[in-house]
Structure 1
Amino acid sequence: MRMIEMFFGDMSTVLKPSDSYAMVLTEAEGGKDRKLAVIIGAPEAQAIKMAQIGYRTPRPFTHELLMNLIYEGGMDFIQAVIYDVKDGIYYTHLYMERPDGSEYEADARTTDVVALSMRAHFPIYIEEELLERERLRNISPDGSVYTLTVNAVSTDMLEQALAEAVKQEDYERASQLRDEIKRRKEEKETEEPNPLHL
């Protein structure tokens, strides 16, 4: 599988709910200019913006603390790989090198990886097939409006979009949104064991 390097491109604050942001990752290789939007909350957006401008606080934030612990432990960052998305959540592995040269793989939030990468300067990759499937699609002639894939959106956001579609009497769209919400809820029910049946 081919890996595509991505870098932080921009942050959008126009999403509802108002405490949600779209962190846009842009393809590093020239030519295709593919973009990926990761929906994040306000604290994550703040951490990334602070890293982007190089803001230093009197006391270390969590990402700086983690980075210091990694380095003091003799480890180093190698790379991160975004490998999946499900119900609005992107899944990422962070790869580090131990002092003996062996590799350590950690599951990490994509937002944390981006914030760390901006501080520690390691590359972030995504599987090309995943990027092609989940990338933003330009839907306006002037290139200013994009659409998200349904996988990139949380269930809460789908429920808000459903309410808006019903309000606007767009029943075809409402039906599609309802079906996706139902699919997610059914899938979640089959994944989680019932604690009452031990």
Structure 2
Amino acid sequence: MIEMRVAAIALDAVTRSPIVLLKDATERRALPIYIGQDQARSIIGALEHQPTPRPITHDLMVNIFRAWNLKLDKVIISTLQDNTFYALLCMKMGKKEKNIDCRPSDAIALAVRYNCPIWVMEEVILDASIPVDRDADEEEREAFKDFVANLSPDELIRRAQQAGEE
């Protein structure tokens, strides 16, 4: 799993649909997820710490979680099937742990309110992420090619033995 954070809420230029953009810590990969207007407003409100006159749905959920001593430990964007993302709320209540299926937009809206980590499965990153820094990706590929090109069989064996000793 790769930890990501909300980098922005944007609008698709063609459809005008909101997109939440998640980025990894290195800011080399971004994961765009289409969300609804209400969820976009909810995430933006939480990111900007905008108070509401009455609790909106995600605030209500946080209030219920807190009233029952439920802790949102993390959220996981777990799968991508037929262009639909799936997520899990990883909840704790004392020693009990439960994972609850939900929409990624709701998971992200709650994660922002709880300041808890947003994790994305590697398979989802591979299938749906977009590169942010192509130059850095290319530099990394070239450095790896140089490393492999200059690696002798004896050096490879020595490194494998060292790794086995650690």
TM-score by length of 2: 0.74
| Residues 121-161 of structure 1 deviation map (CA, whole Å, 9 limit, x = unaligned) | 111101123212210146999xxxxxxxxxxxxxxxxxxxx
Cα distance in 2 for partners of 1:95, 1:14 equals 30
- Quick check: 1:92–1:109 contact (8 Å CA) kept in 2? yes
SS in 2 for 1:64: helix
Amino acid at match of 1:112: D
Q: Alpha-carbon deviation of 1:88?
A: 2.8
Q: Alpha-carbon deviation of 1:80?
A: 1.0
Name the structure 2 match of 1:133: 127
Name the structure 2 match of 1:81: 76
Matched, 1:11 2:9: yes
Count of residues in correspondence between the two structures: 135
Change (3 A) 1:139 1:120: closer
Structure 2's unaligned 5+ residue stretches are 136-166
- Quick check: 1:15–1:22 contact (8 Å CA) kept in 2? no
Larger Rg: 2
Change (3 A) 1:140 1:120: closer
Change (3 A) 1:140 1:16: farther
Which of these residues, 19, 24, 44, is aligned with residue 22 of structure 1? 19
Change (3 A) 1:139 1:75: closer
**1:40-189 paired onto structure 2 within 5 Å:** 40-99=35-94, 101-137=95-131
Between the two structures, name the one with larger relative contact order (CA 8 Å, sep ≥ 6): 2
TM-score by length of 1: 0.63
Change (3 A) 1:16 1:62: same
Which of these residues, 25, 28, 34, is aligned with residue 33 of structure 1? 28
Amino acid at match of 1:131: I
